[in-house]
Structure 1
Amino acid sequence: MGVDVSKQSVDVCVLWGDDILLEKGISNTISCIESFMESFFKKHSFTASDVLVCAEYTGKYTYPLCLACERVRVDLWLENPYVIKHSGGLERGKNDRQDAKKIARYARRYEDKVCLFVLPEQAIGSLRELVSEQELYIVDKNKYQAQLTDEKGFMNSQDYREKSARLNILLKDLKAVIKQIERKIQKIIEGDETLSRQFKLLCSIDGVGERTAVKVIVETNAFRDFTDARKFCCHAGVAPFSYTSGSSIRSRNRVSHRADKSIKSLLHMGALTAATRTKGELHEYYLKKVSEGKNKMSVLNAVRAKLVHRMFAVIRNNKFYEKDYLNTLA
């Protein structure tokens, strides 16, 4: 069953073998989706175990579908839209009905690669929403703060004073809301033993602050969705890839832009702190590589990767990071 999700509606295409059994559009609400599935099972004498629902992950818009599938106990596969888009070859034209058919055929063809979606725990879901809201307010705060500092000497003094007074009101409210969200995040973490332990382990690493620790916990679903540091480096955009073809294209290795930029920016700030502002192993590593002639940004990217590996190591070993650790086998 291929499902194309939009804000107001979902288009459904059901394949039985290679034949189209049903095509229908319904409202994107939990009750409508649940009612459709129950009536479909009853009409065609199917059970939940006979059906695989596949949809593109479109953020919040897939929430009703996820809840409806959980209630009727049907398997749900949420796939990356980019993967589905580039799986069908050359196409002309686009509409929701055609997209639902394309998703159904993708699921039929790549059924052996299915990765079933599981709703995250309530604490992780709440943290995800709070982190997203916090990032929104921080962007606005930085934008208004830049207005205060950048325009001071480039406009009439009276106009600047009036504008700065209005901006300070906005900044005060934003700072208060951000603090409120931070307290809520802390309360949720402290109320969950696993999250609290992971948070403390991550914050024991130089260069990993509270925002970075919470973001990594959310992105990894408390380290359930990611268990390999190398895969998370790829997700965060810090893993370098080669770009070569024949004898004509010999580009240097570089990171991919297809990554989660929000976690990458936090890792970058943490790498800057650990490499340039804090005395320790990463600072010595940074100075050594720069003195050897390495590009500074390349070295910082290596530091970002080291932070990721250290985060996964403390979680795997369930031990706080030891700055002066000595290998007993050495």
Structure 2
Amino acid sequence: MQNVIGIDVSKETLVVCHAPGDKDQHLEVSNNKAGFQRLLKSCGGTDRLYVMEATGAYYMQLAYFLHSQGAAVAVINPVVIKRFVQMHLGKGKSDKKDAQWIMRYGQQNQVKQWQPETPLLVECRQLEQAIEQLIKQKTMISNSLEALERQPVKCLLVVRGLKQTSKLLQRQIGHMERELQDKMGSLFSIEMDLLVSIPGIGRKTAGMLLLFAGGFQQMASYRQLIAKAGLCPREYTSGTSIRGKVRITKMGGSLIRSKLYMCSLTAMRGNAACKELYERLVARGKNGKVALIAVCNKLLKQAFAIVKSGIPYQAEFSKTSPQFA
């Protein structure tokens, strides 16, 4: 109990709560290396468990620093902490109270220790995020150019500038995509070849799926993968009066969901198991979109089984093996 330290992380500061004695003690340090060293000096190192929320990118430097110093680190989803506070009827909110609740959560629950990802995997994630941002910018510029073309009066300087920016963005996207493919090839060459053997999944989606799942190394079952993608169903019924529709949770990666949905359009025609599933659900009266979501889940199930087994997709094999079907 005395070895757990709760940290409320913000952009500029770290508010810390720990209990070296009978009473909780608070400490506030800056969110930089000097503050990290002061925190470690005040609270101790290797025999302590530092618990914090996953607050964007603000916690990353602290987590890497503490891990490099041999301290145990736990990074918790903010929603989990919020529900923990609600469960204990917590009232009011401040940085000190948040740090105190985070500490209590670490004291009362068995938490999984955080481990840093490999630098190459982090670089791949950064490239993927940058590519998606540049694609959005290029789409915005293309829409602006289309709107200008429909106007009776056009400023040539604006049109020229937007076209040049669009070309520059396209070159940057192409360069980053090639760099990402090279890094992914060196990081997940075997897994990439296995995933693209599945009808409906191309190299780009395979790469995104591997980055999203961390190479499937920490996935114990395909259900975890489906839940992380936010594709598991969520029922909303109670008693005799509440009869809500069953929807997917959407508590996960929106980007991977959109890519998988596009892949499902191809998979329901060329992937034997996905096609059979889609036709069976539609024949039972299910909506087409609902059937496509089921195909997305089937693709994730196949991807998990194929990567874990190391066996490429085989249409005839999927009919006899329940883990591939």
**Which amino acid is the alignment partner of residue 71 of structure 2?**
V
Residues 198 and 271, structure 2, Cα contact 8 Å, conserved in 1:
no
Determine which of 272, 297, 300 is the counterpart of 2:292: 300
State the match for 1:48 in structure 2: 46
The 5-angstrom pairing of residues 10-25 of structure 1 reads: 10-16=14-20, 19-20=23-24, 22-25=25-28
1:26 aligns to 2:29 (yes or no): yes
Equivalent-residue separation in structure 2 for 1:145 and 1:199 (angstroms): 32
1:83 aligns to 2:80 (yes or no): yes
State the match for 2:100 in structure 1: 101
**Which amino acid is the alignment partner of residue 62 of structure 1?**
Y
The 5-angstrom pairing of residues 125-136 of structure 1 reads: 125-136=122-133
Post-superposition offset of 1:165: 3.5
Which range moves more in the overlay, 88-97 or 160-169?
A: 160-169
For residues 39-75 of structure 1, give each alpha carbon's deviation from its aligned partner in whole angstroms, at most 9, with x where no partner exists. Answer: 533xxxxx512x1110000121111111211122111
Q: Secondary structure at the match of 1:58?
A: coil
Equivalent-residue separation in structure 2 for 1:174 and 1:265 (angstroms): 22
The 5-angstrom pairing of residues 1-330 of structure 1 reads: 1-16=5-20, 19-20=23-24, 22-41=25-44, 48-49=46-47, 51-89=48-86, 90-110=89-109, 113-149=110-146, 152-153=149-150, 155-156=151-152, 158-159=153-154, 163-192=158-187, 195-275=188-268, 278=270, 280-283=272-275, 285-325=277-317
Post-superposition offset of 1:189: 2.1
Q: Secondary structure at the match of 1:137?
A: helix
Post-superposition offset of 1:118: 0.2
Q: Secondary structure at the match of 1:12?
A: strand
Distance of aligned partners of 1:34 and 1:273 in 2 relative to their CA distance in 1, 3 Å threshold: farther
Equivalent-residue separation in structure 2 for 1:281 and 1:163 (angstroms): 51
Q: Secondary structure at the match of 1:321?
A: coil
Distance of aligned partners of 1:167 and 1:11 in 2 relative to their CA distance in 1, 3 Å threshold: same
**Which amino acid is the alignment partner of residue 191 of structure 1?**
S
Q: Secondary structure at the match of 1:191?
A: helix
Equivalent-residue separation in structure 2 for 1:17 and 1:294 (angstroms): 60
Residues 7 and 16, structure 2, Cα contact 8 Å, conserved in 1:
yes
> Given the two structures, how large is their TM-score scaled by the length of structure 1?
0.87
Q: Secondary structure at the match of 1:206?
A: coil
Distance of aligned partners of 1:16 and 1:257 in 2 relative to their CA distance in 1, 3 Å threshold: same
Distance of aligned partners of 1:232 and 1:328 in 2 relative to their CA distance in 1, 3 Å threshold: closer
**Which amino acid is the alignment partner of residue 296 of structure 2?**
R
**Which amino acid is the alignment partner of residue 301 of structure 1?**
I
Residues 278 and 294, structure 2, Cα contact 8 Å, conserved in 1:
no
Q: Secondary structure at the match of 1:225?
A: coil
Q: Secondary structure at the match of 2:183?
A: helix
Residues 34 and 71, structure 1, Cα contact 8 Å, conserved in 2:
no
Distance of aligned partners of 1:82 and 1:139 in 2 relative to their CA distance in 1, 3 Å threshold: same
Post-superposition offset of 1:78: 0.3
Residues 31 and 68, structure 1, Cα contact 8 Å, conserved in 2:
no
> Given the two structures, how large is their TM-score scaled by the length of structure 2?
0.88
Equivalent-residue separation in structure 1 for 2:281 and 2:156 (angstroms): 47
Equivalent-residue separation in structure 2 for 1:92 and 1:39 (angstroms): 29
Give unmatched runs, 5+ long, in structure 2: none
Equivalent-residue separation in structure 2 for 1:11 and 1:19 (angstroms): 16
Residues 8 and 53, structure 2, Cα contact 8 Å, conserved in 1:
yes
State the match for 1:44 in structure 2: none
Which range moves more in the overlay, 130-139 or 320-329?
A: 320-329
